[in-house]
Every structure is written in structure tokens, then in C-alpha cells.
Structure 1
Amino acid sequence: MPDWEKRFRAPRIGLPDWAEHAPDRSLFVSNATGTFELYTWDRASGSQRQATDRPHGTTDGTLSPDGEWIWWFSDTDGDEFGVWMRQPFAGGPDEPAAPGLDPSYPGGLAIGRDGTAVIGRSTDEEGSTVHVVRPGESPAEIYRHRESAGVGDLSHDGSLIAIEHTEHGDAMHSAIRVVRADGEAVAELDDTKGGTEELGLSVMGFAPVDGDARLLVGHQRRGRWEPMIWNPLTGEETALSIDLPGDVGADWYPDGSALLIEHEYQARGELWRYDLGIPGAGGATSAGAGDTPAGTTTDTSLVPGHPLTRVDTPAGTVSGATARPDGTVEFLWSSAAHPPEVRSTSGKVVLDPPGTKAPGSVPVTDAWVEGPGGRVHALVQQPPGDGPFPTVFDIHGGPTWHDSDAFASSPAAWVDHGFAVVRVNYRGSTGYGRAWTDALKHRVGLIELEDIAAVREWAVASGLADPDRLILAGGSWGGYLTLLGLGTQPDAWAAGLAAVPVADYVTAYNDEMEALKAMDRTLLGGTPEEVPERFEASSPLTYVDSVRAPVYISAGVNDPRCPIRQVENYVQRLERRGHPHEVYRYDAGHGSLVVEERIKQLRLELDFARRHVAGVRGDEAEGVTPR
């Protein structure tokens, strides 16, 4: 078995989620059976149990605060449309967690200590709704709006509910409303009003202390994501002195006396502890943020009296972290060269999955390229030897996401086959400030491709990439950019590999889930009827007759995000031209949670590249025969 397959098949685990009032009870995701499913872990006894077992996998689940119940979302064949189910932590039959609620797309979930649940939902017919479900009672609707909204959190005593909403119509920038359990409004925090630019807010969680109304809120008032504390009962806002460049997230320590800071900067992540000054409920330090210049990291952990203390983590990416009641921090860490591990500040590996370990890969190097909208950051991996190499531009999805120095099996596989891999954090990506993320509005797709083109020119000029063997590839939004790039930059690419893409923007808008329609209206400034010229300019279908490179497309037939009908429209246009292309349709939604299916899809892409790009090494060089 070649290393690239071993990386996919090696058992992996996610960061364990533990029950707030039963911290020895945890829930985690693993692919140990070949499909990603939910598992329970009793830390006291060491016992583990597979809790879900579905053909298409299960990853969306949580524990009730008392640790007695596992809640998990049940959809149909990956279509993301379904209901919440639950089962006892110790095992037993599944049952509907909220009888009386019809199937929907999920819109957040919060569970109280008394068993009360706050459930966010969305459907094409109803828009967004929030329901309170008390044990033994019928669901009570407390919120409804046509625009996208969802449950942020439930206060520790169950008296307050935080709802993120976009009633103002900008799906990229949420406001926060706090209501009581009967839906009565308590307070509103909305940074989209009164300024020349709309700013977003996000709910990070209520303080985990009874009678404490403090809500941890992410804001963008200084051009990046960072936390503050807001008390919706008094209106008091408390700034935090976090002198770090880049985006900053936060979560509470279990006693409410400190915050666990997740800091992301230039595609790497690290952790810090921020002490609030008074153990338990309150006393947040009120201080203005520092004036650390961009590109500078100030190590405040050695400054006497400063609230920030560094939490020791290796260089790479922290993909999630949680503070335990004993003061230790558990975190999911990896780098491009090292497979993921769940580690603890105690020095231990928290969970070590059984079976063969995933082989490592090569580290990434950073490239900073001047683009039309500013410096573009790209991550580069290359095989041994001297270039120029055949090169895959592996474009991330989102678009509000970013590639990081984290372990990924697909880029590692391309490197194994002799390719350099370039991943571009184009305008629209997160992690480089609000202006960078918001820059792609109205000229959607075209702006991202300008940045990709700048990095492509650098890669060729530097001697890294062979200009005659460049492959444009990506999934979801990356698949969309692949098809759009093949049509608008037809001379640049030798082949294109598009997974679950937007291919026909108008049809995609009409068929996709309601929350994504709201996002598209924000990105493009209206509906296809209101701004037809923008949809046309940003749709791959507009440029399909200009495509010269061979095209490979994979699509899930149950995909609610990039629905199959609009993919078929694009494929029919390729067929009408007699253009070389291949299409792989599979029975799932927006991607697959089945390991063998993921391997099959990458094998098909590798084989397509071998047949259509000159001089590319095939699977035979790895000692296996393509299937």
C-alpha cells in the first residue's frame, strides 16, 4: 500500500467534547471503522464505544451537560436535511430528541442543565426559526425571520439565549440578539448600523457561572476578529488587552476566571491564557488593545502583571482546543509534515487511536506574492529534487476559510506523485483581516482568480512550476474557482479537477439551501433577477465554451450546497462541444465521510492527471494498479 493511501486509512480522532457537569464523559469523531462516526469515551473507566453507525457517516453531535445523553444530527444520505436524535451515553436505542419539529437544515443547538434545548432550524419555506424544547413539552417557537439566523448559546442558568442573525440582509456580518426563554428581547448588539462599513459579530459563549450574564463576543471593530465581553443585562462592554497580530478567538475556562485564546496568524495557530482578574464570575480587565504593528508578535508571557500567558504548543496549526476543569488544556494539533494528534498541556497525548500510524509528509514553505489587491500568502510543498515540477494549485473552499500549516492527505498524495502543491489564501480568505475577507464582493470569483494568477506567475518565474504542467484543482468554492479559472484563464492550465463545484451560478442559487442563497445575495449584491449581469460574470457556465484544458468533475448527487442539476447543465455544455471531460457522480452530499470513497476519488484524479498532463508519474510508480 502506498503512503498516500495509508494516510487516508490511518485511524484519526477529533478533539473530544466533554460534558460540562460530567467531565469524565466525552464524545469524539473517528474514522476507525472506515467511516467517520461518533464515539463515547468514559475517562474514568477508559471504555470507548461507537455511538453511531450509518452508511454515509456522522460527525455532528454533542453531549448534554449532565453527560447522560448524546445528541446527533440525522440527515438522509448527506443532504444535511434532517432532525436531532439522541441516545443514552451508556448505549441504547436512538430516539427523536425534539418530537414535533419537522426536518430542516440545522441552525445551532444549545442544551441546558435541566434538559431544555434551544434548536435553530432553517427551511426554504420558513426561513430561520429558533425553538425552545423543554422535557415533556411541545417545541415552542421563539424566533422567525426570512434571513439567516442561528442559535449562539444558552446561559449557564438557562435564562438567556443568544441568537446570531442577519435581519439586515448581510449574511457575512451577523448581529447578536439576546432574548429570554419565552422570546422576549433583552438586548441587541449590532455593529452593522451607524458606520460606513458593516462589521460582523459572533457568539463565543456565555460565562459558565450561575447568575453571570457575561457573553463572550467576537467583533471586527479593529479590522480583525478579536474577543470582548458584553453584559446584555447592563450593556457594559469590556475590551481585552490582547496584543497579538492576526485573528483572535476565545473560549471560557470552566470556572469563568480566564479565557483560552486561539490565535491565528499567517496560516499558523497558537494558544494563550487570558486571566480576567477575579476567579469565577467577573472582574474582566478593562484595557484598550495594544498598538503592536502588523507582522510583529509580542511575547507578553514574560511581562509581569500582564493577563496573557502563552500555552505551550508546537509550531503548526491548532484546530481546536478546550480547557479542562483541572486547568490543563487539550488541543488538536498538526502541521503539514506531521499527522494530527490530540495533545494536552500535561505533556500527554490525550487519545492515541489504534492501528497503523499515518506517514508524515513534507513541510510547507511560505510565499508572499504582490497581487493586484495586496500581498498574497501561499503555502508551498514540493517533492525532492529540482524544479520545475508539475504543479497542482489546490484551491481552498469557503470562500471564508483559509489554508494553514496543517496536515492534509490530499496535498501529501500529490507530492508523493512528484507534484509541487501550491495553496493560495486569496482575497476572501479569513485570517488576514476583515478587509481581505470582504474584498471579493460583487466581482465574485474573478477577484480570487486574480490573486491565484499572481501566485501562478511567481511559481513559474521562480522555477518551482512547469508552465506547461499546471493543474487547477479544488473542492466546493475551490471547485467553483477551478471551473471559472479554466474558462477565464484558458491558456494557463493543462487540466482542471473540480470537486462538488458551483458550475452554473443561477441554477445553483435557485436549488441551494436557503442559508447559501442569503450568502450569495450578500456576495453579489442581490438575486439573479436583481443583478443578472453579476451572476453572469461570475458563473463558470458563461465561459464554458472557452475552456481548453481537459476537465474532471466529481459531484455528490444529494449535495444541498452545490446541487447536482447545475453541475449537469455545465457537463451538457461540455458534451455539446465534444470537449474532453470526465464526471464522477457518487451517492452522498457535499463530500464523503467514507474513507474508501475519498481514496477512490483521489485515485481517479491522479489517474486523470497522469493521462492528460505529459510526464506525470502514475500510480504504477507507487507499486499499485489504478482501480
Structure 2
Amino acid sequence: MPDWEKRFRAPRTGLPGWAEEAPDRSLFTSNATGTYEVYAWDRASGERRQVTDRPNGTTGGVLTPDGEWIWWFSDTDGDEFGVWMRQPFHGGTDEPAVPGLEPSYPSGLALGRDGTAVIGRSTDKSGSSVHVVRPGAEPVEIYRHDESAVVAGLSHDSSLIAIEHTEHGDAMHSAVRILRLDGTTVAELDDTQGGTQELGLSVTAFSPVPGDSRLLLGHQRRGRWEPLLWDAVTGAETVIALDLPGDLEADWYPDGSALLVEHSHHARSELWRYDLADGSLSRLDTPSGTVSGALARPDGSVEFLWSSAQKPPVVRSTAGHVVLEAPVGADGVVRAPESVPVEDIWVDGPGGRVHALLQKPAGQGPFPTVFEIHGGPTWHDSDAFAAGPAAWVDHGFAVVRVNYRGSTGYGRAWTDALKHRVGLIELEDIAAVREHVVASGLADPEKLVLAGGSWGGYLTLLGVGTQPGAWTVGLAAVPVADYVTAYHDEMEALKALDRTLLGGTPEEVPERFAASSPITYVDEVRAPVYISAGVNDPRCPIRQVENYVRRLEERGHPHEVYRYDAGHGSLVVEERIKQLRLEIAFAERHLGLRHDRPEHRSAAPA
């Protein structure tokens, strides 16, 4: 088995969460069976068991605070439209968690210590809604709006609900409202000033201390994400000003005495403890790389999921041990082979300095080079383990990942630069990095692959159309291909995002949608194009992909299309391997590279 396949097949676990009132009862996700599913872990006895077992996988289980029930979301073949189910922690029959609620897209969930449940929902026809379910009672709708809203938290005594909403019409910057269980408003915090300025808020959680009505949030008032404490009852605000560069996210320690701060800067992250009593800040011992999630335990230790581009992910504890070993995979693979470390590239772009991450095989360039473009768009690539880029390196390619304007992690102005000239802005930054790596002798200008999934797939199709002489091959997974059709077919929350990014609907700003739509430029495409798409995808629906493919067919342009029975990507390991194998073969064939390259060698240093 080649190393690149082992990296996909190696058993992994996510960061385990636990019940607030029963911290020995935990949940985590794992791919041990070949499909990502939810697992229960009784830390006291050591017992672990698989909770869900579905053909297309399951993620996102939630424990009730007492640890008695596991909630998980049941959709159909990855379409993200369904209902919440529940199952006893130690096993039993699945049952609807909230009888009486029709299927919907999930939009947040908060479970109270007294059995209260608050469910956020959205549909394509009725916008967003919030429903309260008390023990033994029917669900009651307490909130509804045409714009998107998310249930973000429930106070310790279950009397206050926090929601993030975008009633002001800016889907990229949320306001926060505190509601009582009857739907009446307690307080509002809106840094957008009703949508007149681009400042958003993000809810973390209410205080874990009884009688404490403070809410921990993230704010952007100083041009980056920083923590803020807000007492919704008194209106008091406590700004947590920390002298660290980059973005800062925080969560509570279980006793409420301190905050666990995740510090992200230039595609790496680390952990700090901030004591609320005296304002002292102390760094926790984490290796160089990326922390993909962290939680403080009742004993004061912190568990975190860590990896680097070279080292596979592992759940560690600041107490000095590995928290959770993944089950041995069904095919006998124990752990993922290492890859090569990542290097930083900084390039002057039209909107400022652009940061990119580079991984390359042994030897001297110029190399065939893959520009692997991240999705989101409000996301960023980091120094974290990724089986896809590592596979390309194993096949002799250099891999460049660009944190273009619109990416998170480089300040609010960088993220918010993505407006109106959507897609074209990101491609300007990608072009600046492309020119740099070609001029430096790293990349072979005759063997440049533009690739990505979701928003990265969208940028791939837009890039091969608007920069036709720059790319040799295009590989687009679950892409936006026809922006107008995608808008009309996609889930409601994404319509709101598109209205924010482009300044209106396709009917209101048709020229912007046309300028940002790959199908506008389909007749200019020169590079062979490979497209993969999930037939049940609610985010980048299949009809708009078919419209683009039809235009390629009419031109007789070289292309391949792979359709699979899932949604926006797959949770099945073999499906992921199959898709990447097809992409690599397509690229090698059209780049004229050898097919007898030994796939089994490792890219990791000796």
C-alpha cells in the first residue's frame, strides 16, 4: 500500500468533548471503520463503542450535560437536511430527539442542565427559526427571520439563550441577541451598527458558573478577533486585551476562573491561559504547528488536537500524555506516515503581502506544481497535516497553498477585502504567488495545476477561464460553476452570504454575478478540466455543475466528470482515496508525466 493511501486509511480521532456534569463521558469522531462516525468513550471504565453507523458517515454528536444522551444529526446521503436523533450513552435504540419538528438544515443546538433544548433550524422556504423544547412539552417557536441566525449558547440555569443573527443583511458579520425562553429580548450587542460597519461578533459560551450571566464572545473592534466578556443582564463589558499578534479565540476553564486562549498567527497556533482574577497570561506547552481544537479539563489540564504538515494529528494533554489512541483501522494500518515540513512564502500582491505555504519533494526544481486552493472562502491553510497535499508531494509535485484575500487569520481587513469582485480578487493573489514560484525556478511553468474543493473548486474553474494561459490543468471538486444557478439552488444561508459578497441577488446585480461566474468564461478555457461533484450537495448543487459541463461538451473541450452519491464531499475514506487517485491520474496524463512512478515511497525525511 503506498504511503499516500496509508495517510487516508490511518485511523484518526477528533478531539473528544465531554458532558459538563459528567466529564468522564466523552464523544469523539473516528474513521476506524473506513467511514467517519461518532464514538462514545467512558473514561472511567475505558469502554469505547461506535454510536452511529451510516453509509455516508456521521459527524457532530453532542452530549447532554448530564451525559445520559447522545444527540446526532441524521440527514440523507450527505444532503445536510434532516432531524436530530438521540441515543442513550451506553447504547440503545435511536429515537427522534425532538418529535414534531420537521426536517431542516441544522442551525445551532444548545442543551440545558434541566433538560431544556434549544434548536436552530433553516429551510429554503422559511428562513431561520429557533425552537425551545422543555422536558415533556412540545417544541415552541420563539424566533423567526428571513436572514440567517444560529443558536449559539444557553446559560447555566437555562434561562438565557444567545443567538448570532444577521438581520441587518450582512451575512459575514453577526450581531448577538440574548433571548428569554419565551422569545422576549434581554439584550442586544451589535458591532455592525445595524449593518453600517463591517464588525462582527462570535459567541463562544456562557459562563460555566451558576448565577454568572456573562457571555464569552469574540469581537473585531481592533481589526482582528479578540475575546470579550459581556454580561447580558447588567450590560457590563470586559475587554481582554492581550499583547499577542494575530487572531485570538478563547474558551472557559470549567471553574470559570480562567480563559483558554488559542493564538493563531501566520498559519500556526499555540495555547495560553489567561487568569481572570489578576490578568496574568501564561503559555501552555504545545509543539510548533497547528492546534485544531482545545478543551480544558476539570483538573486544570488541557486536551488539544495537534498536527503539523509533517507530523500526523494526535490528541495530546498538557499533562504530558497522549489522550486517545485511535482504534486500529480495518485494513491494519496503525498510523499515518509522515510527510515533508512546510515552508513559508511571502509575496507582494496587489492588496498587500500574500502568505503561502509550500511543500516540495526531494531534488531540485523546477517541479510540476499544484496550487491547492482552500475553501471557505473565510478559512485559511495552516501548518497542519493534510493527506491530500502530502499525496501530491509523494508523486513528485510541489504543492503551494495560498491564503488569498478573503482568508481568515490575517486580520479583519484581509478577510473583508473579498467584496463585489468575488473570485477575481483571490485569483489576483494566487497569480502573484504563481509568478513568484515560477520566477524562482521552483515551479515548471508548463506543468502548473490549479486545484481545490468547494470555494477552491470555484476558484479553479474561474481561474482556468480568466487566466487561460497560466494553468496547464484544472481540478475542481464540488465547485460553484454557474453562479446564478448555484444561487437559486443552494441552501438559504449561502444565499445570504452571496448577497453579502456580491451586494445583492442575481436580479439586482447581474453584472457582478456574471463577472464572478466561471460559466461566463467557459469558452476561454484551454486547460483540460476534471470535475468531481456530489449529487446531493446543498452547497454547490449538481444542476449548476451540469450546466458548466454541458458547455464544455458543446465545445468538445477535454474534460472528465466524476459524480458520486454524497453531499459536499465524502466521509468515506475509500471514496476520498478514489477521488484523489482519479485527480492525480488525470493531471499526470495531461502533463505527460510517467505512470510507472513508484507510489509506495515516502516523502518523509529519513
The alignment's TM-score, normalised by the length of structure 2, stands at 0.97
Q: In the alignment, does 2:162 pair up with 1:185?
A: no
Map 1:57-68 onto structure 2 (within 5 A): 57-68=57-68
> For residue 102 of structure 2, what is the aligned residue in structure 1?
102
Q: Which of 489, 493, 497 is equivalent to 1:515?
A: 493
Q: In the alignment, does 2:387 pair up with 1:387?
A: no
> For residue 518 of structure 2, what is the aligned residue in structure 1?
540
Q: In the alignment, does 2:142 pair up with 1:142?
A: yes
Report the Cα offset of residue 622 of structure 1.
1.8
| One-letter amino acid matched to 1:270 | E
| One-letter amino acid matched to 2:263 | H
| One-letter amino acid matched to 1:475 | G
> For residue 410 of structure 1, what is the aligned residue in structure 2?
388
> For residue 53 of structure 1, what is the aligned residue in structure 2?
53
Mapped partners of 1:269, 1:569: distance in 2: 41
Deviations 1:202-226 (A, max 9, x none): 1011000111100001100000011
Deviations 1:241-294 (A, max 9, x none): 3111111000000010100001100000000000000xxxxxxx6xxxxxxxxx
Report the Cα offset of residue 134 of structure 1.
1.2
> For residue 280 of structure 1, what is the aligned residue in structure 2?
none
Higher relative contact order (CA 8 A, sep 6+): 2
Map 1:183-332 onto structure 2 (within 5 A): 183-193=183-193, 197-277=197-277, 307-332=280-305
Tell me, yes or no, if the aligned pair for 1:25 and 1:43 is still in contact at 8 Å. Answer: yes
Tell me, yes or no, if the aligned pair for 2:408 and 2:415 is still in contact at 8 Å. Answer: yes
> For residue 529 of structure 1, what is the aligned residue in structure 2?
507
Q: In the alignment, does 2:55 pair up with 1:77?
A: no
Tell me, yes or no, if the aligned pair for 2:79 and 2:567 is still in contact at 8 Å. Answer: yes
Give % identity. Answer: 80
Mapped partners of 2:315, 2:258: distance in 1: 22
Q: Which of 585, 590, 599 is equivalent to 1:622?
A: 599
User: Cα gap change, 1:11/1:619 in structure 2, threshold over 3 Å: closer, same or farther?
Assistant: farther
Report the Cα offset of residue 187 of structure 1.
0.2
Tell me, yes or no, if the aligned pair for 1:607 and 1:619 is still in contact at 8 Å. Answer: no
Report the Cα offset of residue 354 of structure 1.
3.4
Q: Please, what is the CA RMSD of the aligned residues?
A: 1.0
Mapped partners of 1:194, 1:43: distance in 2: 47
Q: Which of 542, 545, 550 is equivalent to 1:572?
A: 550
Tell me, yes or no, if the aligned pair for 2:226 and 2:241 is still in contact at 8 Å. Answer: no
Mapped partners of 1:166, 1:622: distance in 2: 49
Deviations 1:453-479 (A, max 9, x none): 000000001111000000000000000
Report the Cα offset of residue 115 of structure 1.
1.2
Mapped partners of 1:218, 1:366: distance in 2: 28
| One-letter amino acid matched to 2:177 | R
Report the Cα offset of residue 62 of structure 1.
0.7
Report the Cα offset of residue 617 of structure 1.
4.2
Mapped partners of 2:77, 2:596: distance in 1: 31
> For residue 585 of structure 2, what is the aligned residue in structure 1?
607
Tell me, yes or no, if the aligned pair for 1:417 and 1:618 is still in contact at 8 Å. Answer: no
Q: In the alignment, does 2:19 pair up with 1:23?
A: no
Report the Cα offset of residue 352 of structure 1.
1.0
Mapped partners of 1:551, 1:60: distance in 2: 34
The alignment's TM-score, normalised by the length of structure 1, stands at 0.94
SS in 1 for 2:110: strand
Q: In the alignment, does 2:317 pair up with 1:336?
A: no
Map 1:7-18 onto structure 2 (within 5 A): 7-18=7-18
| One-letter amino acid matched to 1:618 | H
Mapped partners of 2:585, 2:13: distance in 1: 29
Mapped partners of 1:196, 1:166: distance in 2: 12
Give the count of matched residue pairs. 596
Q: In the alignment, does 2:435 pair up with 1:457?
A: yes
SS in 1 for 2:371: strand
Q: In the alignment, does 2:130 pair up with 1:130?
A: yes
Map 1:541-556 onto structure 2 (within 5 A): 541-556=519-534
Name stretches of at least 5 consecutive residues in structure 2 with no aligned partner: 329-333, 602-606
| One-letter amino acid matched to 1:107 | S
Report the Cα offset of residue 184 of structure 1.
1.0
Structure 1 residue ranges, 4+ long, deviating more than 3 angstroms after superposition? 617-620
Report the Cα offset of residue 114 of structure 1.
1.3
SS in 2 for 1:191: coil
Tell me, yes or no, if the aligned pair for 1:418 and 1:617 is still in contact at 8 Å. Answer: no
| One-letter amino acid matched to 1:561 | R
Tell me, yes or no, if the aligned pair for 2:263 and 2:270 is still in contact at 8 Å. Answer: yes
| One-letter amino acid matched to 2:379 | W
User: Cα gap change, 1:185/1:50 in structure 2, threshold over 3 Å: closer, same or farther?
Assistant: same
User: Cα gap change, 1:617/1:433 in structure 2, threshold over 3 Å: closer, same or farther?
Assistant: farther
